Structure 1
Amino acid sequence: MITIDLITGFLGSGKTTFLRKYVKYLLAQGENICILENDYGAVNVDMMLISDLLGDHCDMEMVSGGCDSDCHRRRFKSKLIEMGMIGYTHVLVEPSGVFDVDEFYDSLSEEPLNRWYKAGAHITIVDAGLRLPLSDTSRYVFASEAANAGVIVFSKTQLNNPEAPSNILKYLNESLASISCRRKLKASETVAKDWNDLTDEDFKRIESAGFKTYGFEKQQVMDEHKYESLYFMEKKFSLDQIKEKASAAINDPECGGIIRIKGFFKDAEKGWMEVNVTKDDFTVAPVENGQDIVIVIGEKLGKEKLAEIFGEPAEVHAD
């Protein structure tokens, strides 16, 4: 049977960065891998960031969009059926930052997927520097995507004080209780170290973490369109312009509850560069592929104010 892992995490937690490291580990173990990007957005930036991993033993597929959650679930199941006949040994599902985890497990329990796939590790990435407290909606997403994780992998530990993971874990357990989940995560169920120092033994532990089965009180976050994205395409912003505009937007209450700004720009000397912005972080890194785009993700975005800053958006899409 094909082992299928699920990698979840709140918006901007670092899922794609972790995925890159995990894929390299699995390839070294001789696995034949397919990465399934499961995203509600029309333009999948993360898909561009892992394209260089592709080769004879690593492929990539994508499920996107859908007029509603039911449509998206049908597309997800159809894609897994298609992939089940190709000969992969390991499938990694990296969903959107807003994702109904039950969709994943419900699909695997149905014919014919239950004959082809076995659930492997449910890995939840958590930013050790996550800005707290979260809004009620974000707190629900944060908790629901970790409720059944076999392991919590903290990101950005080297950028935060040593107590940060334990403080975030305490808040996560409080968040689980707030959605009537009986689970109480322990430090022994986490990995909290600089990702550059992760060893094969660390990855083996993560790979074998499995998953849990805890219930919780469901909320229809996606169907009620509490999250949305604005796409600003082909604006040809320079790095200085992106810094200025992103700072203005993320610190202006009229722009709404911005959680993350991400995208690409092309530097005349260095080529394509990836940009990731949160309230506490601004990172720029070279990438092999890209396109001129800035995506603003958040709750109740102030579209008119954001248009003043970035120009007219190409598309409005609910996450």
Structure 2
Amino acid sequence: MRWLLNVGKRGMKMIKIDLITGFLGAGKTTFLKKYAKYLLDKGERICIIENDFGAINVDMVILQDIASDNCNLEMIVGGDGREAHQRRLKTKLIAMGMNGYDRVIIEPSGIFDLDEFFDVLYEEPLDRWYEIDNVIAIVDSKLEKDITRESRYLLMSEAASAGTIILSKLESISDPDIEFTEQRIKSLMEEFKCSRVIKEEDFIAVPIECLDDNAFNQIVKSGYNKASYPKEGISEKEGFQTIFYFDYSSDAEKLIENVRNALKNEECGKVHRIKGFVQTGADTKVEINATRQELSVKDVESDRTVLIIIGEQLNKDAIKKYFGEPSL
């Protein structure tokens, strides 16, 4: 009977599809690498689609080391409106549906309308090829307390649809802090009049690096929720924005100083995340990943350098003081 439920209208075995959501810098890519290895070890043939709101995707480079004959990496980029972005997602899924994957995993940017995911998969022919399996939300346990209403709405919508909510960045976090984060997620359901009731068992509070097969066995069976709540639009003009610097180079110490200053300078707007690959010397490049809570810099090999700034109501003139004229 289970096999019959997994078969499309033409008798073809349906492809499972997972969505990994999470706010900017929450740790989605770190989780995805562990999750993909678990699935590959189980013998699944998978495709990962990096689905980015911006015009270029840095996480594709980070994921290159898990690419193999049984793990394909694909990319969709935005930058020219949500309708065009949605069409490209549908087109990509149609193309991937022909390739015999057991599972497709979509990792969107932290700026993603969950309705887009559900709406696309309910359309023909995708409704005949794919079955939604799991929605997994990664939530930063160190998420700052003062975030905008649009950010709270996005966080609510991601948690509301998730079968499992994984708390990330648990280093130096106490049990009361974890309880505070869990309660905060629950309170968002009330703030936005969401029908979802979050329970204690919906959370996994284990460092991502420590997730074992028992945890993944639970995650892969967690499913998803189609909660209802009043829809709120996200303004592309006044809301989330992305600024790009292609072929970017900087002295390493100066780079760190400028990143820290841009994150805390309110004149720059609400900068949520700065990430990318930067040329720091004739033969050296670094990967930088920064939020207000933490900053990571490590040596890396990359064919291209690009710096990406993501935030709300970004002020390009103020940001230029730190990084120069943006490319896009």
Superposition TM-score tier, normalisation by shorter sequence: over 0.9
Report Cα offsets for 1:6-45 as digits up to 9, x if no partner: 0000111111111111111111001101001111211201
Return the match for 2:318 from 286, 302, 305: 305
Partner of 2:106: 93
Is 1:152–2:165 an aligned residue pair? yes
Q: Structure 1 residues 297 and 223, CA, compared in 2 at 3 Å: closer, same or farther? A: closer
Q: Distance in 2 between matches of 1:286 and 1:220?
A: 39
1:143-222 alignment to 2 at 5 Å?
143-222=156-235
Q: Distance in 2 between matches of 1:243 and 1:194?
A: 26
State the Cα distance separating 1:133 from its structure 2 match.
Answer: 2.6
Is 1:62–2:82 an aligned residue pair? no
State the Cα distance separating 1:68 from its structure 2 match.
Answer: 2.2
- Consecutive unaligned residues of structure 2, counting only runs of 5 or more, are 1-13
Q: Structure 1 residues 288 and 150, CA, compared in 2 at 3 Å: closer, same or farther? A: farther
Q: Which moved more, 1:113-122 or 1:233-242?
A: 233-242
Q: Distance in 2 between matches of 1:269 and 1:27?
A: 38
Is 1:240–2:227 an aligned residue pair? no
Return the match for 2:135 from 98, 122, 136: 122
- Consecutive unaligned residues of structure 1, counting only runs of 5 or more, are none
Q: Distance in 2 between matches of 1:270 and 1:66?
A: 31
Return the match for 1:80 from 93, 106, 114: 93
What's the secondary structure of 2:304's corresponding residue? coil
State the Cα distance separating 1:277 from its structure 2 match.
Answer: 1.0
Is 1:33–2:46 an aligned residue pair? yes
Q: Which moved more, 1:154-163 or 1:238-247?
A: 154-163
- On the 8 A contact 2:242/2:310 being kept in 1, the answer is yes
The percent identity for this pair of structures is: 41
State the Cα distance separating 1:300 from its structure 2 match.
Answer: 0.8
Amino acid at match of 2:142: G
State the Cα distance separating 1:305 from its structure 2 match.
Answer: 1.1
Q: Distance in 2 between matches of 1:224 and 1:87?
A: 40
1:252-271 alignment to 2 at 5 Å?
252-266=265-279, 271=284
Amino acid at match of 1:80: L
Partner of 1:108: 121
Q: Structure 1 residues 80 and 282, CA, compared in 2 at 3 Å: closer, same or farther? A: same
Partner of 2:66: 53
Is 1:11–2:24 an aligned residue pair? yes
What's the secondary structure of 1:50's corresponding residue? helix
What's the secondary structure of 1:147's corresponding residue? helix
Q: Which moved more, 1:221-230 or 1:67-76?
A: 221-230
State the Cα distance separating 1:206 from its structure 2 match.
Answer: 0.7
Q: Distance in 2 between matches of 1:223 and 1:282?
A: 27
Q: Distance in 2 between matches of 1:92 and 1:239?
A: 35
Q: Structure 1 residues 140 and 38, CA, compared in 2 at 3 Å: closer, same or farther? A: same
Amino acid at match of 1:175: L
What's the secondary structure of 2:277's corresponding residue? strand
Q: Distance in 2 between matches of 1:165 and 1:28?
A: 31
Q: Distance in 2 between matches of 1:231 and 1:270?
A: 22
Amino acid at match of 1:118: E
Q: Distance in 1 between matches of 2:133 and 2:203?
A: 17
Report Cα offsets for 1:110-134 as digits up to 9, x if no partner: 2111111111110000001111131
Q: Structure 1 residues 238 and 204, CA, compared in 2 at 3 Å: closer, same or farther? A: farther
- On the 8 A contact 1:264/1:290 being kept in 2, the answer is no
| Structure with the larger RCO, 1 or 2 (CA within 8 Å, 6+ apart) | 1
Return the match for 1:137 from 144, 150, 156: 150
Q: Distance in 1 between matches of 2:25 and 2:42?
A: 28
Q: Structure 1 residues 222 and 201, CA, compared in 2 at 3 Å: closer, same or farther? A: farther
Q: Which moved more, 1:93-102 or 1:167-176?
A: 167-176
